[in-house]
Amino acid sequence: MQRVDTTIIGGGPAGLFAAFYAGLRGMSVRIVDSLPDLGGQLTALYPEKYIYDMPGFPAVLAKDLVTQMVKQGLQFSPDLVLGETAAHLHRDDDGYSIETDQGNSLPTRTVIISAGAGAFSPTKLGIEGESEWEGRGLAYGVRNPAEYQGKQVLVIGGGDSAFDWAIALHDHGAQVTLVHRRDVFRAHEETVRSFHARGIQMRLWESVVGIGGDDCVRSATLENNQTKTRELVTTDAVIVNIGFKSSLGPIKTWGVEIEKNQVKVDHLYQTNLPGVFAVGDVCTFDGKIKLIATGVGEAATAVCVAKQLIDPSARLFPGHSSDMDLPVNA
């Protein structure tokens, strides 16, 4: 593999914008992502949700934002290594070499870690035989709400994801019941109001303690947490939204300073390793806010600092893109 100016670990929003900005600055770029698709959390966790806090978009579906960010991020044709996890980081004479879990060695002058929450996995119900139902009616997210049209669906959880999916599935013609183990919610008030306005059913103080069926889910056993009474309810699907566990995994072994499961950076998004930066959800500093809007700003700064490291004669601030002669590719 050819040595590139910068290798971006993670193709979520921060990584995609870093790829664009590095291309804008004339740098050669490689993006590595363990997922087969770009877009990070937006693609993996909430493609059908609206995002309301992107500049210029009063409301944009996550999957539509990803389409535009991918178009922009790939504008300067970065090298893509998808479906491979960056496993090891080795120092060499001209920067670093990243070794993937599939044994590929990727030489690079600088590294921008934009690994988000790292390799994330959903929190499971923790019931016996749970894994047997996965993909047969039990799911930890929804890829395509239209698939649930006309079906009975239990959505488990009390946060934004659970409420959003309950609303989206209801709007796609599913018969939805939201099941939550308490009577307080982590979801935004407006989302809860919108849920109630649709008359979607809700069962409180209950948890799923069993799933039944044949080749696919046909029923679930709900237990009341207060009275311990159980009820068997018929359902075609159980969609669990009770959070995600995340792990930085291999990145923790790279020698970058870790604080509360995140990579510590200075005001230029530099880690303690020379030429290794961290941006987006994965990084931490005093005042860090985990938003797409902040992550992409961090990415632009990190790229400019990396550019100067490689070429000390380059200016930190390249000027405005509106002064540049780029192809209009909207």
Ligand X SMILES: Cc1cc2nc3c(=O)[nH]c(=O)nc-3n(C[C@H](O)[C@H](O)[C@H](O)COP(=O)(O)OP(=O)(O)OC[C@H]3O[C@@H](n4cnc5c(N)ncnc54)[C@H](O)[C@@H]3O)c2cc1C
H or E element at residue 166 = helix 160-171
H or E element at residue 330 = none
The position carrying tokens 């590719």 is 329
- Of 32 and 309, which CB lies nearer to ligand X in the complex structure? 32
User: Which one of 3-11, 102-110, 170-178, 181-189 is the stretch in contact with ligand X (CB under 6 A)?
Assistant: 3-11
Total site size for ligand X, rule CB under 6 A: 40
Name the minimum Å distance from CB 236 to ligand X: 24
Query: Which letter does DSSP use for residue 163 in this model?
Result: H
The position carrying tokens 């999957």 is 63
Residue whose C-beta lies closest to ligand X: 116
Site for ligand X in 17-56 (CB under 6 A): 32-35, 40-42, 45-46, 49, 51, 53
Name the minimum Å distance from CB 149 to ligand X: 23
Q: In degrees, to the nearest 5, what angle opens at C-alpha 255 toward C-alphas 112 and 280?
A: 30
Q: Which two tokens stand for residue 84?
A: 């491979």
The single residue among 4, 6, 8, 14 that binds ligand X, judged by CB under 6 A, is 14
Site for ligand X in 293-312 (CB under 6 A): 293, 295
The single residue among 118, 137, 145, 158 that binds ligand X, judged by CB under 6 A, is 118
Site for ligand X in 234-293 (CB under 6 A): 249-251, 280-282, 290-293
- Of 37 and 223, which CB lies nearer to ligand X in the complex structure? 37
Give the rounded distance of the alpha carbon of 66 from its chain centre: 11
- Of 137 and 295, which CB lies nearer to ligand X in the complex structure? 295
- Of 12 and 78, which CB lies nearer to ligand X in the complex structure? 12
Q: Are the CB atoms for 260 and 97 separated by under 8 Å? A: no
The single residue among 9, 125, 139, 208 that binds ligand X, judged by CB under 6 A, is 9
- Long-range contacts (CB closer than 8 Å, 24 or more residues apart) made by 289-295: 291/53, 292/13, 292/14, 292/42, 292/51, 292/53, 292/54, 292/65, 293/53, 293/54, 293/55, 295/12, 295/13, 295/14, 295/17, 295/114
Name the minimum Å distance from CB 292 to ligand X: 4
State in Å, rounded, how far the first CA of the chain is from the last one.
32
Which positions lie near ligand X, rule CB under 6 A?
9-15, 32-35, 40-42, 45-46, 49, 51, 53, 85-86, 114-119, 160-161, 249-251, 280-282, 290-293, 295
